[in-house]
Structure formats: C-alpha cells, structure tokens
Chain A
Amino acid sequence: MEWKALEAKGVYAAYYRENVVAGMDIAVAAGDFIGIVGPNGSGKTSFLKSLSRALRPRQGVVLLEGEDLYDLPAKQVARKLAVVPQENPISFGFTALEVVLMGRNPHLGRLQGAGPADLEVARLAMEKANVWHLADRPANELSGGERQRVIIAQALAQDAGLLLLDEPTQHLDINHQLSLLEMLLEMCSRGLAVVMVMHDLNLASQYCDRLIVMRRGMEFAHGAPAEVLTSTVLQEVFGVGSIVTRHAVTDRPHIIFLPAPGGDGALAGPRVHLVCGGASGASFMRDLLERGCYLTAGVLNLGDGDEEVGRALEIRMTTEAPFSHVSEDAHLANLELMREADAVIVSDLHVGPGNLVNLEAALQALEWGKAVYLFSPHPIEERDHTGGKARELYGRLLAAGAEESPDREEILSWLAGEGGGPR
C-alpha cells in the first residue's frame, strides 16, 4: 500500500467549544500544489494547524506517511513537514542567518552544533527566498516582507518533503509574491508537496493544481481551479459578484470582481437600450444599473467583452454568433428591445460592416420618437471601418434629433431628464 505524504480524514477541531473545522479531508501526494481558499473565519488556518501538529483534532485523524501525526515526536515530524505560519514574531536580535539555521534543528543531535553542511543548506534556502543578502542583519530590524521571507527560508532549511504555508504572500510585494510562487512551483516539479492557504484567488488559480474551497469549517468545493472557481461558487461562498474569464497567457480561470450594485432606487430610472461592442459599453452598464435603469443591449457578438459583462450583470441582450455579421433575425429582435425602451445610448463603439445595422436600428428608434444619445469621446471618423457609411449614418442620426456628447456625465444627466418614473 502506498502512503500519501499527508492525509486527513474527517477532521473536527476546536479551540473552545465550537468546531472551527468540521469534517475536513485532504490527501496530499508528492508534487501536489494544493490551495485552500475561503472567506475569513472559514477555518482555513485552523485546518492547516491541524495538519501541522499544532491543533489536535477532537475527532478524525491526520496521517503523516501513514502514521498518526500526533503520536510522532516533534523532531521526526519536523524532518518531514515544514510550516510557514501566518504570524512571525521574532524578538531579541538573532541575525537572519541564525534564524534560518534554527530550521536545521530537526537534523541535529542534542549536542551537535550546525556544521558547514547545515550552513550550505541554509545558504541555498536563503537564496531561494531572496534573503541571502540579509544574512547578517538582525531579524527584528527587517521589514515585514523580509521577515516573512526569512521564515520561508527557515522552513526550506528543514529540507522536508511537505511544506504547509499560511498566507505566505500577505506581507510581500507583487514581485516577491510571484517569485515565491514560481519557486514553490519549481520545487513541486521536483517532488515537494505544497499546501497553501491563500486569499488571492487569482494567484491561487494560477499556481495551484487543486483548490479546496472552505466555508464554515467545511469543504464547499474541491477540484482543479477551472472546476472550482466559478462565479456561482464565488457568489455563494464569498457573496461577491464576479466574471470568470480565462487568463490570456495561462488559460487558468481569471476572476474579475464586480462592484456591489449600489443605489437604492431599484428600477426607478428610464428603460434604456445600449448599442455597444468591444469593451465600450461595460462601464455604462454599471452606471445605468446603479441609476435604477432597466437596461437592455444589442446586438452583441457572443464572447465580446461587453457581451460577457452584460451576461454577468444579467442584462437582456440580443446576440449574434462570434465574429459574424448581425443577422436579420438578431436585428429584428434588437428592434423589439428598442421599441420597448425610452432611450437609446450608442457607445463609442467601432463600426464595421458586421454591426453597421445597429446604427440603422438606432435611426429607426429615433423615428419612433425615442431619445437617442451618441457618446463620442472619440469622433466617429476614427471608429469608422465601413468606408464612410458609419459617418454618414451618424450625420443622419444627428439631423433627425439625436444628441451627441463626449462627456458621459452629460449623457447621464440628459437621461435623468427623460424621466421614466418608478415602474
């Protein structure tokens, strides 16, 4: 039978009466890079403590290479499992090197001092954590981030096959966050197993093979980042709106968080139809929703930036297949939405042969007596890819009574004058 490096089954743990960890499992094998995510107070740190021999489960078992973690001597555990805790108080001025050398303790006999081999291990660990240049500095004079990296080096100096980290990036600037995670990833490829509590979901998504999402001491979801990081899960666990896209380079899930919808006049504003595309309409969508408008949009190609945002905001839209000309059906559906609207806003979208018909729809709306506002921070000449047809349609729109402004606030104020009243 093959032992997992670390395995927990049905772990319940508590500091006082209430269980902060309520039935967690985990199985960690060599080379794994596992992230534990979840909101504050979900039990991530406590679970990690249970795994690191610091918080004895009141129920369930934690096995280190098949043996009960809490039955093993501390020294034996420390040779196989290293921990980077969240808080690192270092008092009384030991130098950074002396602190890192303490990581060699599990490998030393009672009266044995650290030898040249231990010094070499410490040096390599400090180079990996980017702190070798701080070796002779008193550790209590270092900045929070530098101290964090010294503790990471101390854990690396233990030369253990398992590394548990609690929020290792929290004091680090983005450069050191990435270099730490890259370093861990590289060590994982050579067999190190990493379990890491993370707050930054996008970094967790980029680096972890598996994520465990915790809520109220329990596992809410478990799997590859792409399976686990969905806007439904994020809404459910963290209570935030989000759009989950793909990272352009790594193809891992990439989360864009949405501001909480503000304003209290829900749907008290006018009904507005937005003609947009590219990413020209997304910011308008939020503004209009905040003002209580009932918002529709179209025609948008599927996968277009505005289409993704609109879908996440649950706006009613008419859509067309990716990169296709707007079809007759979509155009008619769009006209239906416009007919129901009080006003139409045309964002400063780029116009090509495929979406020219959306401007014709706006002209139709004008003929139906709808207010039409053209948002043009960039003149249409710069956005016209139809050899002048779009510019001509803009001219006809203006002649028929559409109003144009480069200022978003001005358009929103015109819209407010449109009324609409509570619906």
Chain B
Amino acid sequence: MAALRKRRVTVLVILGLVLAAAVVVAVALGAVYVPIGTSARIILSRIPLLGLLFDGDWSATQETIIISVRLPRVLLALLVGMGLALAGAIFQALFRNPMADPGIIGTSQGAALGATIAFFFGINMGWGGLSAVPLFAFVGALLAVFLVYFIAKAGGRVSIAYLLLVGFALSSFLASIVSMLMVISEDRMHNIFFWLMGGLGTGNWDMVLAVLPFIAAGSVVSVFLARDLNLLMLGEERATQLGLEARRFTWVMFVVASLVVGAAVSVSGIIGFVGLMTPHIVRLLTGPDHRYLIPGSLIGGGLFLVLADTIARTVIAPEELPVGIVTAFFGAPFFIYLLKRRRNAIA
C-alpha cells in the first residue's frame, strides 16, 4: 500500500515538472525564437516577490511577445486541457463508461450551436472582455446540458443510461442545426468550420481570466470529493450502501463537470480526444483511484494540450493547424500503443 502510494505521488510530481518545462518551451517557440532561459526568466520575473530576483536583461519586444502574446495562449491551452481532462474523468466515473467524454451530454454541440449563431448573425457584442462567440458558446453549452437534464428528469426515474441516450439524441439534433446554418451561410462557413475544428489562436488574457475560476473551482471540488468518485465506480446502489448519498452526489458532479466543459469549450471550440483519452492514459500510470487520477488528469490534460497547441502553431508556421487535428493525430496512436501494452489495465 505505502509503496503504491509513493509510486503514484512520484508519477504526479514528475508529470508536474514536465508540465512546467513544457510551458516554458512552448512560450519560447514561435515565429520569433526567444531563448528558453530568457523565456523562463521573463515569466518568473512577473511572479510577485520571486520576480524581484530577476533583472530585465531582455528586450522590450521579447517581453511583449512572451507576456502579451504567447503566455496567455499557452495558459489558455493549459486551462482548457485541464478542464477537458477533468470533465472526462468525472463523466467516466459518473457514467461508469470508458467511452464517456466531455461532449457526451450535449455540451459540445450546445457550444457549437451558440458559436454558430454568433457567427451566423454576425453578433458583435461583448462582456467582460469576451467577444460574442465565446459568450454564446458558453450559454449554448449550459443550455444544452440543462435541456438534457430536464428531459431526462421528466422521464421519471433518471438513470445514467437514459441520460446518455437523451444526451446523444440532443447532440445529434443540435449538430444538424449547426450543419444547416453552415450550409445557408456560405460566406461565414469558413469561420464556423474553423471554430468547430477547435483552436486557441484567439487566446488572450481576458479569456484566461474568464475561464480560470471555473477550472479552478471544478478542480478543487473534484479533488475534495475524489474518494466519493471511487465509491461511485461500484454503482449508484452499492455506493449508497457504503454511505454515499449517491444520487445527490451524481448531480453535484454533473453540474460541476458541465460548467467546466462549458467554460473550456467556449474559448477553444471543440477539441476532441483530450477529455476522452487523458484520463485513460493517466489511469495507466496512477491506477483508478481518483485521489490520484483527478490531479493526474488535470496535469496530463494541460500538458497534452500545451504540447499539441505548440505543434499546431509551429509546424507549418506562419500558417496554423487546428489543434484538434494535432491532438487526434498524436494522441490516438500513442493511446493504442499503451492499450496494447497494458491491455488489462483499461476498463
């Protein structure tokens, strides 16, 4: 037991260090290369107290590139990756289904419809520094989730399977509306299409600050309730027999995960694969215990998306790949490799 715990903690610490290094490297890379050491010092100099230790032996241009352009984008990738992986881990526990991903209960398609509407009508409003597209996407995501919830609830006994089916049906319905709007709006189709592919190119500090509270609150709640997620893996009835108010807990986590996904999707569009696969990959490293799986998924999801976004914006610079292509292109083969090596550790 003790040895197992030590191994899991070690895995988390190593993952954390790799993530910190990845952030620095990601910030250094781009059209203008800023040496890694300089990048690291520019970032550290902005940290209160610690920053006093660093002299400004870098150019103002370098500082602008790092602090105003690259850092918000990298941090946004970090937060979105964390949020998607966290929601994936929660949904996989709630649904006890290894195929559950953050889009499963209609969030992604709800966000897509919201964003599409904003594009389609050329809506040009903002709130708290956010433009219309992320705002509409966020509202769309939450509306979809609550629609699924109320349809499922109206069906009488709310079962997990019922919720999944309603989520699937509603997603298909919303997707059809999105496609229809795309077809009739030829001139804006390109914008909508690229948003749907997912990307962080518009990332700025306002978005980072808008998403941060949701991801942070969701992470804290999930880490606190990790042991209850473990119980839920035994099924709702068994979890209740072991002292968990399983039904209430399920709904709390459902709302938490929905808010996290809604926030993430609204600023990034639909980025596949991170939410579905990160928890599985982390599970191979830490085992199924959510006390390690949740922090591991947060770090792993952040790391995954930071790396993927760096590749997306550098590999064919100055053009950019949609990051969703990168996550699937590198993530899927890696996951299959792990799957074949550790077949029995999954599900």
A residues near B, CB below 8 A? 52-54, 73-75, 77-79, 82-83, 85, 88-94, 97-99, 102-103, 105-106, 108, 110-111, 113, 119, 138, 141, 154, 158
Contacts and interface: CB of A to CB of B under 8 A. Distances in A.
A154 B241 CA distance: 11
A54 B241 contact: yes
A114 B306 CA distance: 36
For the complex of A and B, the 4 pairs showing the least CB-CB separation, nearest first, are A78-B243, A106-B243, A75-B243, A92-B288
Nearest to A49: B237
Nearest to B344: A141
B237 A119 contact: no
A89 B245 CA distance: 19
B345 interface: yes
Contact of B1 (A97, A141, A158): A97
A265 to B, nearest CB: 52
A158 B243 CA distance: 10
8 contacts: A53-B241, A74-B244, A94-B230, A102-B234, A105-B227, A105-B242, A105-B243, A105-B244
Contacts of A88: 238
B96 interface: yes
Contacts of A79: 243
Contacts of B287: 93-94
B322 to A, nearest CB: 32
A53 B246 CA distance: 12
A74 B245 contact: yes
Given A85-B237, A97-B1, A111 B224 contact: yes
A110 B230 CA distance: 13
Given A91-B96, A119-B1, A53 B240 contact: yes
B320 interface: no
Contacts of A52: 241
B237 A74 contact: no
B345 A98 contact: no
B252 to A, nearest CB: 14
B63 interface: no
B283 interface: yes
A168 B245 CA distance: 25
Contacts of B243: 74-75, 77-79, 105-106
A91 B204 CA distance: 41
B227 A92 contact: no
B238 A105 contact: no
Given A79-B243, A82-B241, A154-B242, 20 more contacts: A53-B240, A54-B237, A74-B240, A74-B246, A78-B243, A83-B241, A85-B237, A85-B241, A91-B347, A92-B283, A93-B287, A94-B230, A97-B1, A98-B230, A98-B289, A102-B231, A105-B231, A111-B224, A138-B344, A141-B344
Nearest to A73: B245
Contacts of B288: 92-94
Interface in B211-256: 224, 227, 230-231, 233-235, 237-238, 240-246
Interface string B55-82: 0000000000000000000000000000
Contacts of A75: 243-244
A96 to B, nearest CB: 12
B242 A103 contact: yes
A97 to B, nearest CB: 7
A102 B242 contact: yes
Contacts of A54: 237, 240-241
Contacts of B235: 89
A88 B347 CA distance: 15
Contact of A94 (B227, B242, B289, B347): B289
A166 B148 CA distance: 35
Nearest to A94: B288
B287 to A, nearest CB: 7
A94 B233 contact: yes
A106 B96 contact: no
A191 to B, nearest CB: 21
A271 B233 CA distance: 66
Contacts of B237: 54, 85
Nearest to A119: B1
B50 to A, nearest CB: 30
Interface in B133-177: none
A151 to B, nearest CB: 8
A299 to B, nearest CB: 60
Contacts of A97: 1
Nearest to A52: B241
Contacts of A103: 242
B344 A91 contact: no
A141 B288 CA distance: 14
A235 B107 CA distance: 58
A141 B343 CA distance: 12
A131 B293 CA distance: 26
B61 to A, nearest CB: 48
Nearest to B156: A16
A89 B347 CA distance: 11
Contacts of B238: 85, 88
B224 A102 contact: no
Contacts of A73: 245
A53 B247 CA distance: 13
A158 B98 CA distance: 29
A407 to B, nearest CB: 57
Contacts of B231: 102, 105
A83 B291 CA distance: 25
A88 B239 CA distance: 12
A158 B242 contact: yes
A117 to B, nearest CB: 14
B295 to A, nearest CB: 15
A49 B241 CA distance: 10
A52 B242 CA distance: 11
Nearest to A84: B241
A170 B243 CA distance: 25
B310 to A, nearest CB: 32
Nearest to A83: B241
B253 to A, nearest CB: 15
Nearest to B283: A92
A106 B344 contact: no
B248 to A, nearest CB: 9
Interface string B272-306: 00000000000100011101000000000000000
Contacts of B283: 92
Nearest to B244: A74
Contacts of B344: 93, 138, 141
Contacts of A111: 224
A48 to B, nearest CB: 11
Contacts of B234: 89-90, 99, 102
Q: Which of A93, A99, A102 has the most CB of B within 10 A?
A: A102
Contacts of A94: 230, 233, 287-289
